[in-house]
C-alpha cells in the first residue's frame, strides 16, 4: 500500500509539473513556428547595407582558402579607415558567407538556428541563476523560468535584427557572454574546477572584446561578481589575481580602442557627458533609469529578506540590472543611441523583470501571489 501511494504521489507530481510548463512550451514552439514560416514564406534577401560588399569580398577570397590572409587584410583596413579592431567579425564573415553565401535563404536559416540556440542557452543560464538566488518555493518550478525567459526573448522585437541579419555583431556579445556568465556562476559553486572556469572566463572575455569594443561593459560586472564570491569557494589570493587580470585586460583594450580614432570611432567622445546624457535618445535614458531602479529594488529586497545577507545571492540578482547600467555608461560617450544598440541589453532586461516577478511571487501576500501567478504561468487553479 505504501509503495502504491508513493508511486501515485510521484505520478501526480510529474503530471502537475508537466501541466505547469506545457503552456510555456507551446508558446515557445509557437514563436519558433512563426519565425520559420516567415523565413521560408518570404525569404530574406541581402538587405543589410554591409552584406553586398562582404559577399563580393568573400567571392574573391574564399576560393583561395586562405582565411588568415583575408582576416589580416580586413583588420588592417578596419583599423586604418574606421578605427576598429575586431578580428572575430571577418573570421565569421569568411566562413559564414563562404559556406552559406550562395543562398540568402540558407544563410538566414543558419543564422536563425545560431541565434535561437544562443537565446535558449541564456534561458537555461537564467534558470540556474534564479534557482540559486530565490528561496525554494514548491509553487514555482525551475523549468518555468527557462521557458518564460525564452518566450520573452522571442517577443523582444529588437532581437529580430539579430535573427534576420547575420552581420549584426551584437550576436557575438551574447554568444561569448554566455560562457562568461556561466563560468562566473560555476566559480561560486564548484571549487574543484575553479582553474577551468577561470580559464574559460579569461578566454571568452578576450574573444568578446575582439568581437566588439562595447563588450567592455562586462569588465566591472565580472569584477563585482568575483569580489562577491564567498571565501569558501574562492580564496582571497585567487580573487585578487583574477580581478587584476580582468582589470588589466579591460584597461589595455580600452586604451587601445580610444587610441585608434578614425572615421567611425571619432564619434566616441568622453567630454561633456552630463549634457550628452540629456541629449541622448529617450530609449537610452529609459534604459539607464530602469537599471538604477532595478539595482535599488534588488538591494532593498536583499537587505530586507535575506537574513544571512549572503553576498553571492545578492550578486546573482544584481548582475542583471548592473549589466544594463554598465552598458549604458559605456555607450554614453557615443554620438547617438538608437534601437539597434539595445540588442545587447535584451537578455538583461528580461532577466531583471523576471527576477523582480519571482520576488513578487514568493514574498507577496497570498492573494497578490495567486493572481500574479495564475495570470501568467498557471493553466488551472489549484
pLDDT in tens, 178-207: 999 999 988 887 777 888 889 999 999 999
Sequence-separated (6 or more) residues with CB below 8 Å from residue 78: 84, 85, 86, 90
Selection from 164, 315, 97, 159 nearest residue 225 by Cα:
315
Rounded to 5°, angle at Cα 30 from 24 and 33: 150
Cβ-in-10-Å burial (0-12, 13-18, 19+) of 332 comes to middle
Higher pLDDT, 25 or 55: 55
Output the CA torsion 305→308→311→314 (10° steps).
-10
Set of cell numbers at residue 227: 569580489
Distances (CA, A) of 336 to 72, 333, 346: 30, 8, 19
d(CA 379, CA 382): 10
Q: How confident is the model at residue 210 (pLDDT cuts 50, 70, 90)?
A: very high
pLDDT confidence of residue 236 = 85
d(CA 22, CA 147): 10
Provide mean pLDDT across the span 270-289. 79
Distances (CA, A) of 375 to 16, 24, 282: 17, 13, 31
pTM, full prediction: 0.84
Provide mean pLDDT across the span 256-268. 78
> Mean pLDDT, the chain, as a whole number?
78
Cβ-in-10-Å burial (0-12, 13-18, 19+) of 230 comes to exposed
> Does pLDDT of 262 surpass 50?
yes
Higher pLDDT, 332 or 366: 332
Locate the DSSP E strands across 25-183. Answer: none
Backbone angles phi, psi at 6, to 5 degrees: -70, -40
Distances (CA, A) of 44 to 39, 163, 167, 340, 362: 7, 11, 14, 19, 44
Amino acid at each position: 500500500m505504501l509503495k502504491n501511494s508513493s508511486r501515485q504521489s510521484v505520478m501526480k507530481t510529474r503530471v502537475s509539473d508537466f501541466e505547469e510548463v506545457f503552456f510555456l512550451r507551446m508558446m515557445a514552439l509557437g514563436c519558433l513556428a512563426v519565425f520559420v514560416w516567415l523565413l521560408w514564406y518570404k525569404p530574406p534577401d541581402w538587405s543589410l547595407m554591409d552584406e553586398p560588399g562582404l559577399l563580393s569580398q568573400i567571392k574573391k577570397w574564399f576560393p583561395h582558402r586562405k582565411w588568415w590572409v583575408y582576416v589580416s587584410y580586413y583588420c588592417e583596413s578596419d583599423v586604418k579607415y574606421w578605427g576598429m579592431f575586431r578580428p572575430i567579425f571577418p573570421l565569421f564573415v569568411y566562413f559564414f558567407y563562404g559556406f552559406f553565401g550562395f543562398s540568402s535563404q540558407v544563410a538566414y536559416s543558419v543564422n536563425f538556428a545560431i541565434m535561437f540556440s544562443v537565446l535558449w542557452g541564456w534561458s537555461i543560464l537564467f534558470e540556474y541563476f534564479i534557482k540559486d538566488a530565490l528561496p525554494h518555493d514548491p509553487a514555482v518550478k525551475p523549468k518555468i523560468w527557462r521557458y518564460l525567459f525564452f518566450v520573452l526573448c522571442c517577443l523582444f522585437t529588437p532581437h529580430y535584427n539579430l535573427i534576420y541579419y547575420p552581420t549584426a555583431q551584437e550576436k557575438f556579445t551574447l554568444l561569448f557572454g554566455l560562457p562568461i556568465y556561466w563560468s562566473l556562476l560555476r566559480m561560486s559553486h564548484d571549487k574543484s574546477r575553479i582553474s577551468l572556469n577561470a580559464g574559460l572566463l579569461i578566454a571568452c572575455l578576450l574573444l568578446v572584446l575582439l568581437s566588439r569594443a562595447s563588450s567592455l561593459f562586462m569588465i566591472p560586472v565580472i569584477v563585482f561578481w568575483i569580489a562577491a564570491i564567498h571565501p569558501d569557494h574562492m580564496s582571497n589570493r585567487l580573487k585578487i589575481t583574477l580581478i587584476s587580470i580582468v582589470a588589466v585586460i579591460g584597461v589595455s583594450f580600452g586604451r587601445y580602442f580610444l587610441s585608434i580614432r578614425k572615421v567611425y570611432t571619432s564619434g566616441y567622445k568622453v567630454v561633456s557627458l552630463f549634457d550628452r546624457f540629456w541629449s541622448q535618445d529617450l530609449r537610452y535614458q529609459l534604459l539607464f533609469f530602469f537599471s538604477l531602479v532595478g539595482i535599488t529594488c534588488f538591494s532593498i529586497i536583499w537587505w530586507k529578506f535575506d537574513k544571512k545577507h549572503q553576498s553571492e545571492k545578492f550578486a546573482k540578482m544584481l548582475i542583471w540590472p548592473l549589466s544594463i547600467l554598465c552598458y549604458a555608461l559605456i555607450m554614453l560617450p557615443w554620438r547617438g543611441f538608437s534601437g539597434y544598440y539595445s540588442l545587447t541589453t535584451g537578455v538583461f532586461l528580461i532577466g531583471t523583470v523576471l527576477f523582480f516577478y519571482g520576488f513578487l511571487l514568493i514574498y507577496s501576500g497570498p492573494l497578490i501571489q495567486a493572481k500574479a501567478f495564475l495570470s501568467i504561468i498557471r493553466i488551472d487553479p489549484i
